[in-house]
Chains A and B, each alone.
Chain A
Amino acid sequence: MEIIKRGEIVTSSWQHLTDDQALPEGKVDVTVTLSRFVEQQSALAAYGGRVGVRLRPGDELEPVLSQLQNLPLIAVEFPKFTDGRGYSLARLLRDRHEYRGELRAVGNVLRDQLFYMHRCGFDAFELQEGKSVSDALDAFAEFSVRYQAGADDPRPLFRRRAASA
């Protein structure tokens, strides 16, 4: 499927497995839920493809922290775009735990939230099915000024103002 990654439209082959879906044959890249990731560590370690973790909004991060820097991808689910918990997860992963791999928003992901998601540290976006990926690219340039620090600037505007005064 086509996704937005680091500002460009690319094709992604990651498969998001549900808990009752068996690991595929071959070397397809997959994400699994946090509980499966914790419970099936040895099976996943033996798997031929890459394995990422898929977080639900209410998940705690502690179970993945020890392996964070080895993870190629963390997907954060937005079951509804109005559920804002995923934004906090993204900031904690990036700012507190210094996760540097791909952080992907999945689920009910819509153009008008991409700006905020990007600022919280998401760098990849699987849009809700049926939404135009190319239209959504415009969302990142709607604001040229930001008051807060974010993934795109480590300093809040008040620091930058103080520096330029």
Chain B
Amino acid sequence: MYQYDAHDQQIVEERAAQFRGQVQRRLEGSITEDEFKPLRLQNGLYMQLHAYMLRVAIPYGLLSSTQMRKLAHIARKYDKGYGHFSTRQNIQFNWPKLADVPTILDELAEVQMHAIQTSGNCIRNTTSDHYAGIAPDEIEDPRPYCELIRQWSTFHPEFAFLPRKFKIAVTGTPDNDRAAVRFHDIGIRIVDNEAGERGFEILVGGGLGRTPHIAKVCREYLPYEDLLSYLEAILRVYNRYGRRDNKYKARIKILVSELGIDEFRSQVEAEWEQIREGALKLVREEIDRVRHHFEPAKYRELPERDLSVLGQSLGGDPGLRHFVRNNVERHRQPGYCAVMISLKARARPPGDASDTQMDAIADIADEFSLGRIVVTHTQNLVLPDVEQARLTELYARLAEHELATANAGLLTDSICCPGLDFCNLANARSIPVALEIGERFDKLDYLADVGEVSLKISGCINACGHHHVGNIGLLGIDKLDEEAYQLVLGGAPGNDASIGKIIGRAFSRDQVVDAIETVLQVYLGNRQGEDERFIDYYRRVGQAPFKEALYGDHKKG
């Protein structure tokens, strides 16, 4: 965990006090709603369909058990007893009262948390790989850099009123991007140059929303000490020249695509030349200081076990076997593993956890995972430091709280936006579709047979459910005042990034789950063996067999 020092603590406390004053002035009427809106947004307070939603920042997804207990407490005391873990590794509370929010921020500050810049046209929470710091394939832990970016971007005086929101993601595993860096305004990959020196590849202009873009390479290699000055140069070019005439064309991806990456790059590089030797140059001591603020995990010396054998040796309980196969990941420390807690149990909205579940997870993290928890961009949680020998015991504990759903990475581990149940932008509901899919496909053996596939559901073209990068995506639309869903196939967020394509005419709410079943049947009936994943099959055969099965004969459209 990154441990705040006195400066960090002072800032979050002063921020809570500032917002208390702003709310007070709003309630008195000395500032208008228009003037107040950006202030509340930059404190994570967003107006949804029925009420305010408070989005609390979880920098790079990392939580202590103490922080998780605080979130449980907030859910219980100020909300309706649950919270929603989001695709940006944050948590959202759906029902806080405006007058309570300053007190909630005070409570968060007590555990080194805040809601700073979780909404609004500013630099948002920096996200990262949910296996950061433990993945065997990682070349360097990206979180100290994320924390440096967090500090640089927190209350950055120049960049609080950008043309639009701005999201940065960092991966330390260049060969296996689990942070979707190619779909961020800036994506950062830790890499080595040909001389073996550590630095970054800087990608720019990725994003989802109405016009999905895969990020382009802005700089193939940036020395590590230039990270912040280079980010500042990109942000300055964007702040000055990003479009402000149309909010749907205001993201940096549009600027990059209108200028062309070469022209954009040359503007950034010209700006950067002016500032690269300035005060933002990182010194190795600072990176080390930040790294030291991440308490190192106190691992025991343990023998490594073979996880594939472990799952089979666990005997009778098929749930446990599936759990070990699907929800357990290798760890770089011998004898340890990472365990995914799926928040996609049947009949629960994806990403939601109740206050009692959050308390239970905190206790379980203390007992089994050195008190740490990680939020994933797939709306799940990870226990990052579990001893392999204790998996059976852990599974039983999780199961007591309906937290042992063995579907990580499978079809029903879907990503889903709040949809029309909560959001005033949505055209269609998302959560009920996810729930129906969870019910239809609840047999673990069937899910295991389908294997690795990602399903992502957005209730409108703003794409909060990331449907563009789902192997299977659903996009809610309004078709003659009825909810309908377009089916999108072939998206992927990682190193093999691709944007899915709409397969054809939209499906009604009644038809949509059948359509997904049809898609799965096409795949299962035609794949070249179990090793050919859904996405591989799709890339091999394209849309044709799916179109035929979905719309063939008289249904052509």
A interface residues (Cβ-Cβ under 8 A, vs B):
81-85, 87-88, 91, 96, 110, 112-113, 115-117, 119-120, 132, 135, 142-150, 154-159, 161-162, 165
Taking CB atoms, residues of chain A closer than 8 Å to B283 are: 158-159, 162
Nearest A-chain residue to B239, judged by Cβ: A88
Closest CB of chain A to B290's CB: distance in Å?
A: 8
Whether B482 sits at the interface, judged by CB under 8 Å, is no
Cβ contact within 8 Å between B39 and A82: no
Cβ contact within 8 Å between B22 and A112: yes
6 contacts between A and B (CB under 8 A): A82-B161, A88-B158, A91-B158, A143-B18, A145-B7, A158-B290
Contacts A91-B158, A110-B35 given; does A143 touch B14 at CB 8 Å: yes
Taking CB atoms, residues of chain A closer than 8 Å to B157 are: 87, 115-117, 119-120, 148, 150
Taking CB atoms, residues of chain A closer than 8 Å to B286 are: 158-159, 161-162
Q: Mark B223-247, 1 if CB is under 8 A from A, else 0.
A: 0000000000000100110001000
Whether B160 sits at the interface, judged by CB under 8 Å, is yes
B interface residues (Cβ-Cβ under 8 A, vs A):
5, 7, 10-11, 14-15, 17-18, 21-22, 30-31, 35, 38-39, 121, 148, 151-152, 154-163, 236, 239-240, 244, 274, 279-280, 282-283, 285-286, 289-290
Nearest B-chain residue to A139, judged by Cβ: B18
A82 to B239, CA, bound (A): 12
Cβ contact within 8 Å between A161 and B152: no
Residue in A85, A144, A146, A158 whose beta carbon sits within 8 Å of that of B240 in the complex: A85
Cβ contact within 8 Å between B35 and A84: no
Residue in A82, A112, A146 whose beta carbon sits within 8 Å of that of B155 in the complex: A146
A154 to B280, CA, bound (A): 10
Closest CB of chain A to B464's CB: distance in Å?
A: 22
Cβ contact within 8 Å between A149 and B279: yes
Number of A-B pairs, beta carbon distance below 8 Å: 107
Nearest B-chain residue to A118, judged by Cβ: B157
A85 to B38, CA, bound (A): 16
Contacts A161-B7, A162-B283 given; does A87 touch B289 at CB 8 Å: no
Taking CB atoms, residues of chain B closer than 8 Å to A156 are: 152, 279-280
Residue in A82, A145, A149 whose beta carbon sits within 8 Å of that of B121 in the complex: A82
Taking CB atoms, residues of chain A closer than 8 Å to B289 are: 158, 161-162, 165
Contacts A88-B236, A162-B285 given; does A145 touch B14 at CB 8 Å: yes
Contacts A149-B280, A162-B283 given; does A144 touch B160 at CB 8 Å: no
Cβ contact within 8 Å between A84 and B239: yes
- With contacts A82-B38, A158-B282 known, what are 15 further pairs, Cβ within 8 A? A81-B35, A84-B121, A84-B162, A84-B163, A84-B239, A91-B236, A110-B35, A112-B31, A119-B157, A135-B30, A145-B7, A148-B152, A148-B156, A154-B279, A162-B286
Closest CB of chain A to B113's CB: distance in Å?
A: 17
Counting chain A CB atoms within 10 Å of each CB, the highest count among B148, B239, B282 belongs to B239
Nearest B-chain residue to A157, judged by Cβ: B7
A145 to B13, CA, bound (A): 11
Nearest A-chain residue to B237, judged by Cβ: A88
A28 to B77, CA, bound (A): 60
Cβ contact within 8 Å between A145 and B10: yes
Closest CB of chain B to A163's CB: distance in Å?
A: 10
Cβ contact within 8 Å between A147 and B14: no
A113 to B1, CA, bound (A): 32
A141 to B163, CA, bound (A): 27
A135 to B24, CA, bound (A): 13
Contacts A112-B39, A154-B279, A158-B286 given; does A85 touch B239 at CB 8 Å: yes
Contacts A84-B162, A87-B239, A162-B286 given; does A142 touch B14 at CB 8 Å: yes
Cβ contact within 8 Å between B239 and A147: no
Closest 7 CB pairs of A and B: A84-B161, A119-B157, A116-B157, A158-B286, A149-B279, A87-B158, A147-B151
Taking CB atoms, residues of chain A closer than 8 Å to B155 are: 116, 143, 146-148
A150 to B152, CA, bound (A): 12
Taking CB atoms, residues of chain A closer than 8 Å to B18 are: 142-143
Nearest A-chain residue to B154, judged by Cβ: A147
Cβ contact within 8 Å between B14 and A84: no
Taking CB atoms, residues of chain B closer than 8 Å to A84 are: 121, 158-163, 239
Cβ contact within 8 Å between A143 and B35: no
Nearest B-chain residue to A119, judged by Cβ: B157
Taking CB atoms, residues of chain A closer than 8 Å to B31 are: 110, 112
Cβ contact within 8 Å between B158 and A144: no
Cβ contact within 8 Å between A120 and B285: no
Taking CB atoms, residues of chain B closer than 8 Å to A91 are: 158, 236
Taking CB atoms, residues of chain B closer than 8 Å to A161 are: 5, 7, 286, 289
Contacts A84-B161, A116-B160 given; does A147 touch B11 at CB 8 Å: yes
Nearest B-chain residue to A159, judged by Cβ: B279
Taking CB atoms, residues of chain B closer than 8 Å to A88 are: 158, 236, 239-240
Counting chain B CB atoms within 10 Å of each CB, the highest count among A146, A147, A159 belongs to A147
Taking CB atoms, residues of chain A closer than 8 Å to B239 are: 84-85, 87-88
Cβ contact within 8 Å between A158 and B148: yes
